[in-house]
A and B are shown apart, each in its own frame.
Chain A
Amino acid sequence: MSAERIYRLLLRAYPSDFRAEYGREMVLLFRDQCQESDVRTVGFWAAVICDVARSAPALRAAAWRARVSETTRTIEVTMKLAAMLTVLVGVFGILNAMVEWGAALTGTIGGMHALALVLGVFASALLLAAGAGILRPTQRGRQAARLALFASLVLIVAARLLFPWMSIFSQLVGFGLPVALLIALYWPRKPSTTARLGTVPP
């Protein structure tokens, strides 16, 4: 097996996009090195393997960080949409509870049902506040949103326990939305997407 063929195999240690961009140039450079060195020596191959072992993991880690950063950007956009949806659900929840309250006033309304409606209004108001908090691009806004979502979840659980005839849709929105948003808010993010420069040779 020729030295160049062995080097082409070693190139597989690098990320595929890096290979596609620089693979040909690297092989040309290796060919130059082969012309100036004795490829049959251990020292030559030790230097080659050392170079691959030092640079390939770093480039793979950088490619992985870039993918995480891309995922984070996608999450940021999704969060903005989810925050707008949360505000709408909050407003809808308040209106729905008020309409239900008005309808219940025509007949008889139990104490537990009334309490569950009040809790529903508060939970919806907290969802609205959480949506507004997420839309603010500050750490304080996110922290406030987390607290509001936790509180909303607690109130919905309490309302469900007090008034078990809650609709499936209300339960899905009431439990699912805060839980999904809390997971997204606690998802690890990169603080900055600024390109990081490593040690640059002289």
Chain B
Amino acid sequence: MLALADGEQHGYAIMKGVAARSEGTMRLGPGTLYGALKRLLEARLVKEGGDRADPERGDERRRYYRLTQLGLSVARAEARRLDAMVRAARRKKLIGERPA
């Protein structure tokens, strides 16, 4: 969901975004990615944005996905929850200080 926070993306862009954001530790295969997208679509957190060719790649038409209003709210709530947990862990010195 974080990968879609910037706007509409197709599958490959989402995969690249996840790999870049996790510094290469998380690499999604097509099955895992589209399985997750299917669940998010069913939960109405994500919706399809139509098919079109990627101007950067200029090849076949690809299906684009974007967050719904509900998806954006859920992503924000989850980010706030995680932020609160990280701050709590930092206060308890479970993790280091935020780098300058």
A residues adjacent to B (C-beta < 8 A): 14, 18, 21-22, 25-26, 28-30, 32-33, 47-48, 50-52, 54-56, 58-59, 195-202
Contacts and interface: CB of A to CB of B under 8 A. Distances in A.
B39 A29 contact: no
A197 B29 CA distance: 18
A52 B39 contact: no
A29 B34 CA distance: 10
Closest 9 CB pairs of A and B: A51-B29, A55-B31, A26-B30, A22-B34, A29-B30, A32-B12, A55-B35, A202-B2, A51-B31
Interface of B: 1-3, 10-12, 15, 18, 21-22, 26-40, 42-43, 57, 60, 62-63
Determine chain B's interface SS by DSSP, over half rule: helix
A201 B18 contact: yes
B22 A202 contact: yes
A198 to B, nearest CB: 6
B97 to A, nearest CB: 23
A95 B12 CA distance: 71
Contact of B43 (A28, A47, A48, A197): A197
Contact of A200 (B27, B34, B36): B36
* Residue of A51, A54, A196, A200 with most partner-chain B CB within 10 A: A200
B35 A202 contact: no
A28 B62 contact: yes
A196 B2 CA distance: 19
B66 to A, nearest CB: 15
B37 to A, nearest CB: 8
A46 B69 CA distance: 38
A84 to B, nearest CB: 34
A52 B26 CA distance: 16
B29 A55 contact: yes
A50 B30 CA distance: 11
B12 A28 contact: yes
A22 to B, nearest CB: 4
A25 B63 contact: yes
A28 B11 contact: yes
A50 to B, nearest CB: 7
Given A198-B36, A202-B21, 7 more contacts: A14-B31, A26-B30, A26-B31, A29-B12, A47-B29, A50-B29, A201-B32
B34 A26 contact: yes
B84 to A, nearest CB: 17
22 contacts: A21-B38, A22-B34, A25-B34, A26-B11, A26-B34, A29-B12, A30-B30, A47-B27, A48-B29, A55-B32, A58-B35, A59-B31, A198-B35, A198-B36, A199-B36, A200-B1, A200-B36, A201-B3, A201-B26, A201-B28, A202-B3, A202-B21
